[in-house]
Structure 1
Amino acid sequence: MIAELRYYTITPGHTQSLLDQFTGTSLPLFAKHGITARGPWLRRLTKGEQLVYLLEFEDEGDRERRWTAFRDDPEWREVVASGAGQVPHIAASEIVELTR
């Protein structure tokens, strides 16, 4: 099993927008493409907040296939394209890979 623990530092003033996009679009698309997702949670920082969630995959091949399908999904491509020219919701990110 492979898990990705993902931390997204939120651009100030964009917490609700990112949560809405994540719960309204990302989570349903993860489910559509068979990606097991846990979360999201908000983590308070000294300055700002992070969106934190966990994704689970059976192995490296499974992860690659599912991420490719997710990124190629027309609905996700539309989300990415619609953000062009706007202030990004995510100021920084970190992905921690966990295996067992």
Structure 2
Amino acid sequence: MINQLRIYSVPPHNRGPFLDRFRDHAARIMGTYGFRIQAMWTSETDEALKFVYLLAWDSEAQMKDAWAAFMDDQEWKDIKVATSAAHGDFVLGIEDMVLTPTDFSNGIGGSA
């Protein structure tokens, strides 16, 4: 098992529309492709909203296949176009980390 940590930087003025879009659309569509969202957080500064979420995957191959399917999903593509037209840029940047547990980890995904 591996985890994936994603951190999105969102313009402060798009806080509400971004969170609504993720909650109402992205998370739902992701679920149809096997995404297992473990937790979601926000961290805010004057410059940006940081939206952070943790995913669990059985393997990197599963993760890559699911992301490819999600990004190719026509409903998701249409939602992104519509919400961007209404609110402008939603995401200033994305940090993406694949987290592989150590053999001495006892946290999420650990084996000890």
The TM-score normalised by the length of structure 1 is 0.86
Q: Displacement, 1:48?
A: 3.1
* Percent of aligned positions that are identical: 27
Output one character per residue of 1:35-86: Cα deviation in whole Å (capped at 9) or x when no partner. Answer: 1013321112363321111112111111111112111212112123322595
Q: Which residue of 2 aligns with 1:96?
A: 97
Q: CA deviation at 1:2?
A: 2.1
Moved more, 80-89 or 53-62: 80-89
The yes-or-no answer on 1:55 pairing with 2:42 is no
Q: How many angstroms does 1:19 deviate by?
A: 0.3
Rounded Cα–Cα distance in structure 1 between residues aligned with 2:42 and 2:86: 26
Q: Give matches, 1:1-100, under 5 Å.
A: 1-45=1-45, 47-82=47-82, 83=84, 87-100=88-101
The structure carrying a bigger strand percent of its residues is 1
Equivalenced residues, count: 100
The one-character-per-residue Cα deviations of 1:2-52 (angstroms, maximum 9, x if unpaired) are: 211111111121101000000000110111111101332111236332111
Say which SS state the counterpart of residue 12 (structure 2) adopts. coil
C-alpha RMSD of matched pairs (Å): 1.9
- CA distance in 2 between partners of 1:26 and 1:95 (Å): 17
TM-score computed with the length of structure 2 as normaliser: 0.78
Letter in 2 for 1:52: V
Larger Rg: 2
Unaligned runs of 5+ in 2: 102-112
| Structure with greater contact order relative to length (CA < 8 Å, sep ≥ 6) | 1
